[in-house]
Amino acid sequence: PGFSCWKQCGSRWFICSWPPHGPAGNTSYLLTLCYVTPRLCQSFKAGVMTTYTLKHHHVYVLTNATAWVEARWGNHVHRTPNLTLYLNEAVKPEPPTTGMSFSKTGGRLRLRVPWPPCHRGSQPPQREARFRRMGNHSWMQVTCETVTNENEDDSVTCALGRQGAFEVQLRHKPPHWSSYWSDWSSSIFVPEEILASPVLSYQLGKLGRDGQRVLRLGWQRAPAEQGNVTYTLRAHMPACRCAEPDDEDTVELGREVMAHNLTLSGAEYEILLTASNAAGMGPARQLHVPAEQSTDLGFKDVSVAGSTMLARWEAPSPGSIYCFEQQPLPGALKEGVCIRQDFSAKSIHVERGRTSEAPACYRLAVHSWARPQRWSTFALQHYYASNASLAVPIRINTSAGDAAVVWWSPSPRAACPGALAKYLICHAAKGKNVTYSEVDAAASQYTLQNLQPSTAYRVGVWEVTAESRGTCRPWWHFQTKALGSQGAAWKSNLKYLGLSLSLPVIAAIYQLSKKRARRLLFPPLPKPMGSKAVQFSAGEMSQGHPWPSLVEPSERFSPAELLLTKLNPGKEMTDAGTRPSTPQPSPTAEEPVVVCLLGCEKELPFAYRRQEVLSPDGFPPPGSTSCSSHLVKEEEERGRQGLHQLLVPIALLISDKPVIIRDEEGWDPSLEKSVP
């Protein structure tokens, strides 16, 4: 925009330009150049134009010069600032081209930029970049770093500092101080970089009779910010490196493609899917395709002699390259043997391999390459190399008289796919023909049916492989049981079962009987609650009369003395089952009689006046004593009267004091049977 004088690369004309000053059309301009060597100045009239072209031979180009422009209109003079330049190096290059390659990683834009024409010296040109997001109008400008490589384009790195899709422009400038920046280049559209690998889904088909299988792949569409995305599929066989890189399956697919089918052989594969755009290539998505395990494409013959294995196969179609695999299972993948030679259809080939001393499982395979079908599998088989016998150790259960169960441990050959075809079971009684049976390779037991009781048998279990002829010899002996012993065993079992079931029943009956017997033998005592047997007179309840404690006896009591109270009923009961509502006292109060066990004394050793005797209403407390003779007379008189209602006292001994309680509600003696 300011005052400048420069020339283009290879040109001998200098173009000086300046901004307009004063009124348009009425302002004249004068260009002046003063040189250091020689010390002189030159003036050039430009008229009303704001540009002026200097011829190369009219100026001094190999010295420093100072230039300025004066604008005159009317009485006004305007002078531009001085411009110092070296005319021979005052070069303004062309803008950078836009066909350069670039990539972007981590917000850093890397470009391959060629040197500008007429560039001299070893120093690279200076470069700048400006960028803005797609749809934005404001630019951001950064300085770029340049690395020069001999005979190659410069590697230019511009730090954009952010992720996303951008519009980028470049410009450059020769390293001389008097040179000029070029104009900005055309826009370069840098898409968003691919940071994640595509999400891959797949479906693997079975190996066909043609020795090939189909792998169906699918993935998601890339976002629009990533621009034009290209997908690359590579299929690689790690075990067979016969093919050149050009012969490997490599497919380039466009942005609109989201699925593809690959035709593979039965070998193990590594599939790589990468997505790339103008910003560069994203991380690859790796898919491991396992080798085919089960197939009908077997070898003609496989044999082992010592540590050498021989495998014979037939080519179903012609070819020029084939690969022989002998992979130990389990184990790390080993590289196969690649053979480059032409062969015809129906030709027979023999491959040699080495085996270990210990039993091992091997996957044997032959893959061939030919156009146009490319890689296909000719032969595939698993082989278990072992010198062990095909007879299987067994265990026999003869608990049933007419059957026997045979068990065995799974064979190591069962872990080798296809190596064990089945088990052959043979059994025979002594002097009888051998009976054969077959079970699959996953079985571990078999039941021999319809056997004769108490009979000796021989049985054998043998492995059947693809190489064996399925022979079986019974050499394990066993004896079936008699049916009677079986019945005795069942009777013994039933006996034990009956004993085990009867124990809980006996325990339950015992518990019920125990509770019933307790209620019959030990009835509950009558409850004195609600009884009128305990009553006290008003004089005894007065404060002047001391009340004895329930636990302290009012007097000492001897266990050898028994206190009896004689009752005199008022009148005879007409009905033996009827009890009078109120007992009637006798006209003459009888004195209580004490039986003296050690002798009859007239006077008792203690006074009964201090004894608090609890008696029912209507009967006076005892106040006198008599001897045993008097007691006998009273007993005879009571018997003659035929007393039917008798209140039997209940004596409760609390400490050493007898307490007599009559309960007229609890017990009816008339209901008891008399004992003769």
Residues 244 and 369 in one domain: no
In a domain, 589, yes or no: yes
CA distance 119 to 83: 23
pLDDT at 623 over 60: no
**566 found inside a domain:** yes
Answer with the one of 251, 268, 289 that is the final residue of a domain: 289
User: What's the pLDDT at 28?
Assistant: 95
Residue 670 and residue 558 share a domain: yes
The CATH number given to whatever domain includes residue 333 is 2.60.40
What single DSSP character describes residue 428? Answer: E
Asked if residue 296 belongs to a domain, the reply is no
Residue 537 shares a structural domain with residue 661: yes
Quote the pLDDT of residue 563.
44
Residues 170 and 66 grouped into a single domain: no
**Of the residues 138, 167, 190, the one at which a domain ends:** 190
- Tell whether 534 and 668 lie within a shared domain: yes
Q: How confident is the model at residue 151 (pLDDT cuts 50, 70, 90)?
A: confident
Which range, 283-292, 294-303, 522-531, has the best average confidence (pLDDT)? 283-292
| Residue 529: burial class (beta carbons within 10 Å; 0-12, 13-18, 19+) | exposed
Residue-level pLDDT at 44: 94
Enter the pTM of the model.
0.55
Report, as an integer, the average pLDDT of 130-143.
Answer: 88
pLDDT of residue 306 exceeding 50: yes
pLDDT band at 348 (very low <50, low <70, confident <90, very high): very high
Q: 166: how many CB neighbours lie within 10 A of its CB?
A: 24
> How many CB atoms sit inside 10 A of residue 506's CB?
9
- pLDDT higher than 90, residue 78: yes
At residue 53 the predicted structure's pLDDT band, cuts being 50, 70 and 90, is very high
468 band by pLDDT with thresholds 50, 70 and 90: confident
Q: Is residue 387 part of a domain?
A: no
Where a domain ends, among 289, 316, 346?
Answer: 289
pLDDT for the residue 493:
67
Give the model's confidence band at 418: pLDDT under 50 very low, under 70 low, under 90 confident, else very high.
Answer: confident
Beta-sheet pairing, 301-305 with 308-314: antiparallel
The answer on 309 and 229 residing in a single domain is no
Give residue 333's domain range.
301-357+365-382
Same domain, 113 and 157: yes
| Residue 504 included in any domain | yes
Of 47-61, 348-362, 417-431, 547-561, the poorest mean pLDDT is in 547-561
d(CA 286, CA 265): 18
Mean pLDDT of 166-192: 91
In whole angstroms, what is the distance from residue 9 CA to residue 91 CA? 6
Query: What pLDDT does 627 receive?
Result: 41
Residue 537: pLDDT band with limits 50, 70, 90: low
Question: 312, 298 in Cβ contact below 8 A?
Answer: no
Does any domain span residue 388? no
Residues 169 and 252 in one domain: no
Q: How many domains does the chain have?
A: 7
Residue 567 to residue 672: CA distance in whole angstroms: 19
**Whether residues 80 and 129 fall in one domain:** no
The answer to whether position 66 is within a domain reads yes
Report how far residue 423's alpha carbon sits from residue 204's, in angstroms, rounded to the nearest whole number. 32
Supply 501's token pair. 């079931």
pLDDT score recorded for residue 525 = 60
Q: Is residue 295 part of a domain?
A: no
Same domain, 377 and 398: no
Are 62 and 128 in a shared domain? no
Which of 353-357, 380-384, 574-578, 630-634: highest mean pLDDT?
380-384
Query: Quick one: 569 and 651 in the same domain?
Result: yes
For residue 215, the domain's CATH number is 2.60.40.10
Predicted confidence at residue 633, as pLDDT, reads 45
